[in-house]
Amino acid sequence: MVTKRFQCPSCREIASFSGSAGEQVIVTCPSCLHQGKIVFPAEDTASYAIEVSHLKKVYGNLVAVNDISFNVKKGEIFAFLGPNGAGKTTTVEMIESIREPTAGTVKLLGEDTKTSFDKIKEQISILPQEFHSFERLTVRETLEYFSKLYKKQADIDGIITALNLQSYEKMLYRNLSGGLKQRVGVALSLVNEPDIVFLDEPTTGLDPKARREVWQVVANLRQQGKTVFLTTHYMEEAEFLADHIAIIYKGRIIAEGSLDDLITTYGRGSVLHIQGCTSSEALVILKDEGYDARSEGNGTIAVTITYKDRVLDVLSTLRHEAIDYESIEIRRSNLEEVFLELTGSKLQEAEA
């Protein structure tokens, strides 16, 4: 059996269907009942590090993870992006065999984790969301301690150099800054030379500079050929790091693809932001002229731009109508807008 995710051309709902490799079937969208033909591809599981199929977790009355399916290719950084409580940790811990799924299957490196986890457990590593280490060990001692838990002999010097921890290797863990503690956490996730690294919100709570340093470390993991499964609620983190992004919201995957795929499918193209607009009529005038304009509050008007010359058209309309403004800015659609389009709220609001 092959599972294929299919995006409904009518309502954009993503649903998974199972069938035989190469089979052609008519499927019905579970959301809007639109019917379409799909062909199941020939199976190419060898290129997948992680295969998740119809995974579900129910806690009492709460369906925390609701029938999700996705694959992660070997060697890619896969970002699992979603607000607080979306189901990220529950999913990642089911994949890591820490929590038992209510339903569904997980394969890591082709092995079903329910029956064969022992075969692959040394090939994965985990940086949990609430990571802490021994307060009174130095960075080097910490790495040496954890490396002894595995059969493989870790190259501690290589890891210290790769994570740029040379200046801190004699410092006690408790004296490190938050960013350095997270870097040590990522370093620890390398002591068993894993093929797949799971990082559950590795930069939460860090200041922007420390966050960027951790990003660099994670980007380097890709260069080393590792597969990285990263959960995050930072849009910029997924934009900066990920080859492939799945957005999880209320236990369901609501969109999936590369950054470009997501922006092309759900974004609004480029948006012209007119800031400090003094005229209360401006929005009405622009709409009357046929522009896709909306107020963003505080005197800012956003106009969707489908092709470059439209910017000049908008500005000449404003001049013609003697509408004054302080500044303009043109921004390409980003993940924040994709999330807004899909859920009707900003990611930060969804977390409130």
Ligand X SMILES: Nc1ncnc2c1ncn2[C@@H]1O[C@H](COP(=O)(O)OP(=O)(O)OP(=O)(O)O)[C@@H](O)[C@H]1O
Distance CA 119, CA 123 (A): 9
CB of 82 to Mg ion, least distance (A): 9
3-state secondary structure at position 83:
coil
* 129 interacts with ligand X by CB under 6 A: yes
Nearest to 131 by CA among 77, 185, 57: 185
Measured between alpha carbons, how far is residue 122 from residues 126, 147, 226, 228, 301 in Å?
11, 12, 14, 15, 54
Q: Cα–Cα distance between 140 and 145 in angstroms, integer?
A: 9
Contact 141, 132 (CB under 8 A): no
Residue 230 site contact among Mg ion, ligand X, none (CB < 5 to 8 Å, cut-off depends on kind): none
Q: Which is nearer to ligand X, 87 or 267 (CB)?
A: 87
Q: Which is nearer to Mg ion, 128 or 267 (CB)?
A: 128
Query: Closest separation between CB of residue 61 and Mg ion, Å?
Result: 20
Asked if residue 349 binds ligand X (CB under 6 A), the reply is no
At which residue do the structure tokens 């051309």 appear?
Answer: 9
**DSSP structural state of residue 148:** T
Nearer Cβ to ligand X, position 277 or 347?
Answer: 347
Based on the shown chain and the rule CB under 6 A, indicate whether residue 90 belongs to the binding site for ligand X. Answer: yes
- Which residue, 98 or 330, is less far from ligand X as judged by CB? 98
Asked if 64 interacts with ligand X (CB under 6 A), we say yes
Choose, by CB under 5 A, the member of 3, 89, 91, 192 that binds Mg ion. 89
E-only strand ranges, 139-280: 196-200, 227-232, 244-249, 252-257, 270-275
Residue 93 Cβ, how far from ligand X at the closest point, in Å?
8
The alpha carbon dihedral of 24, 25, 30, 36 has a sign of positive
Phi, psi of 34 (to 5 degrees): -60, 140
If one asks whether residue 189 binds ligand X (CB under 6 A), the answer comes out as: no
What is the nearest approach in angstroms of Mg ion to the Cβ of residue 129? 5
Our finding on whether 75 is near ligand X (CB under 6 A) is no
127 binds ligand X (CB under 6 A): no
Q: How far is the CB of 196 from ligand X (least distance, A)?
A: 19
Question: Among the candidate windows 8-16, 59-67, 286-294, 336-344, which touches ligand X by CB under 6 A?
Answer: 59-67
Q: Pick from 82, 185, 194, 267: which binds ligand X (CB under 6 A)?
A: 82
Task: Give the list of residues 6+ apart from residue 161 with CB closer than 8 angstroms, or none.
Answer: none
| Cα torsion 116, 121, 123, 126: sign | positive
What mask, x for binding ligand X by CB under 6 A, covers residues 228 to 247?
Answer: -----x--------------
Contacts to ligand X by CB under 6 A: 59, 62, 64, 82, 84-90, 129, 233
